[in-house]
């Protein structure tokens, strides 16, 4: 069996971190098994779906490195839905309903008032059709047997079908709701694994019967615990955290992949620069049922660890003009994001702000200029400079090193001066010490 997964966003808005995790896990599962990862644009809501959002979804997945093996759009598949709908209708698994929203709400309140579950009551045979109303359509559930499946995270699941309402699958204006088109597409596209949030568990129970009614086999289902914010509660802010936000704060795509690949498991989050080890180890059996906590501060810390490992070739097109591998290797240990390299490169190229030194330190720096002038700059000028100054002045430790760093960089801290000083160069170093 070839594993086929799908990510099925609705282009009524931008992807957020929860959507991104769903896309990532579908992609990882397919890649681990040598299968196919499909993008399905669920744009049946023609009034709210936009091409701008479709393009943004594609761009976001591309930025993350999640390249689909195929793409489909529900708006181009209406003929298939119509054919399946008519077949289900002919088989008695779809039926027309005429209640208004107000009538349904009143009926639910009555049932709840009687201490009964608010399950939709099917109209009795021969119920008159109200004049002037177009029907909406429901899928008729089979109440003769429980609905069971073995979820790859939640384990064995069991629903009493008698406690589920027949779901509305089509509105009175003919437009489609989510449930039936999604099941039709999963069957038609050969999807073997549906990976989604635990808020879809009851939908799965209904869709399992839809697969059976269409003569198909249901895919395996994976329902992941929802994300929570760092405060430990379901956070509305997570719904606003998308690729644009992460790019703006300097998060590398692989950082987001590394974080979301392991969130919700007991496996450690690893600072990797290549997702392949994460793919190889990916296992839904490692995921728990407790809500998964997404902490942006932890993401930033992870990003710094990953930036410190990035090869020059991976970032060369984002570095300032003239910056070579030696400069990148010298500066990257001080970066939290690649974008910060611009600031540190300005320290190399100058100009820099002259430090406010004491009279004693100014005299020391003047001495350093004299020593620096006579050095051989072709081999490790920093250690040669500090060794000579230590011998001449008797300084050591912070009094020896800090005034030099301040005079040469305008900063109290930063990259290793042994790596940085050759980048600054003799002429510019003498000017800063003078």
Residue 314 neighbours by CB under 8 Å, 6+ apart: 273
User: Which is nearest to 17 in space by CA: 195, 252, 242?
Assistant: 242
SS3 assignment for the chain = CCCEEEECCCCCCCCCHHHHHHHHHHHHHHHHCCCEEEEEECCCCCCCCCHHHHHHHHHHHHHHCCCCCEEEEHHHCHHHHHHHHHHHHHCCCEEEECCCHHHHHHHHHHHHHCCCCCCCCCCCCCCCCCCCCCCEEEECCCCCCCEEEEECCCEEEEECHHHCCCCEEECCCCCECCHHHHHHHHHHCCCCEEEEEHHHHHHHHHHHHHHHHCCCCCCEEEEECCEECCCCCCCHHHHHCCHHHHHHCCCCHHHHHHHHHHCCECCCCCCCCCCHHHHHHCCHHHECCCCEECCHHHHHHHHHHHHCCCCHHHHHHHCCCCCCHHHHHHHHHHCCCHHHHHHHHHHHHCCCCCCCCCHHHHHHHHHHHHHHHCCCCCCCHHHHHHHHHHHHHCCCCHHHHHHHHHHHHCCCCCCCHHHHHHHHCHHHHHHHHC
In angstroms, the Cα distances linking 166 to 74, 118, 341 are 23, 12, 59
- 351 cis-preceded (ω within 30 degrees of 0): yes
Q: Which two tokens stand for residue 189?
A: 């596209």
Residue 109, annotated as binding a ligand = no
β-strand partners of 159: 147
In angstroms, the Cα distances linking 134 to 23, 93, 99, 178, 364 are 38, 19, 10, 20, 91
Binding residues for ATP: 236
Binding residues: 236
């Amino acid at each position: 069996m070839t594993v086929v997964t799908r990510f099925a966003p609705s282009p009524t808005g931008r992807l957020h971190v929860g959507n991104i995790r769903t896309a990532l896990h579908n992609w990882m599962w397919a890649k681990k098994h040598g299968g196919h990862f499909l993008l399905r644009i669920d744009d049946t809501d023609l009034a709210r779906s936009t091409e701008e959002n479709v393009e943004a979804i594609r761009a976001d997945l591309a930025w993350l490195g999640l390249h689909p093996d195929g793409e489909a759009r529900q708006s181009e598949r209406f003929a298939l839905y119509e054919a399946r709908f008519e077949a289900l209708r002919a088989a008695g698994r779809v039926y027309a309903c005429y209640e208004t929203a107000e009538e349904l709400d009143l009926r639910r309140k009555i049932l709840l008032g009687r201490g009964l579950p608010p399950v939709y009551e099917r109209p009795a045979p021969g119920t008159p059709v109200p004049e002037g109303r177009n029907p909406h359509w429901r899928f008729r559930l089979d109440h003769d047997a429980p609905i069971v499946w073995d979820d790859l995270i939640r384990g064995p699941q069991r629903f009493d079908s008698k406690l589920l309402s027949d779901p509305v699958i089509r509105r009175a204006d003919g437009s489609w709701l989510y449930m039936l088109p999604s099941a039709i597409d999963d069957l038609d596209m050969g999807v073997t694994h549906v990976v989604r949030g635990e808020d879809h568990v009851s939908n799965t129970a209904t869709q399992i019967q839809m697969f059976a009614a269409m003569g198909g086999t249901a895919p395996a289902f994976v329902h992941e615990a929802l994300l929570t914010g760092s405060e430990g509660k379901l956070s509305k802010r997570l719904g606003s955290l998308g690729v644009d936000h992460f790019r703006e704060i300097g998060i590398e795509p692989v950082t987001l992949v590394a974080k979301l690949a392991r969130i919700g498991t007991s496996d450690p989050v690893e600072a990797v620069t290549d997702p392949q080890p994460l793919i190889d180890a990916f296992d839904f059996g490692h995921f728990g049922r407790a809500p998964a906590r997404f902490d942006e501060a932890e993401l930033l810390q992870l990003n710094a660890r990953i930036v410190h490992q990035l090869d020059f070739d991976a970032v060369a097109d984002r570095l300032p003009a003239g910056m070579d591998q030696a400069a990148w290797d010298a500066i990257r240990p001080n970066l939290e994001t690649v974008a910060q390299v611009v600031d540190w490169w300005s320290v190399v190229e100058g100009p820099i702000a002259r430090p406010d030194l004491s009279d004693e330190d100014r005299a020391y720096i003047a001495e350093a200029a004299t020593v620096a002038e006579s050095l051989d700059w072709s081999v490790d000028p920093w250690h040669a400079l500090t060794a000579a100054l230590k011998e001449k002045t008797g300084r050591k430790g912070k009094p020896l090193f800090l005034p030099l760093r301040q005079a040469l960089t305008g900063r109290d801290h930063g990259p290793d001066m042994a790596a940085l000083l050759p980048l600054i160069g003799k002429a510019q170093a003498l000017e800063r010490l003078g």
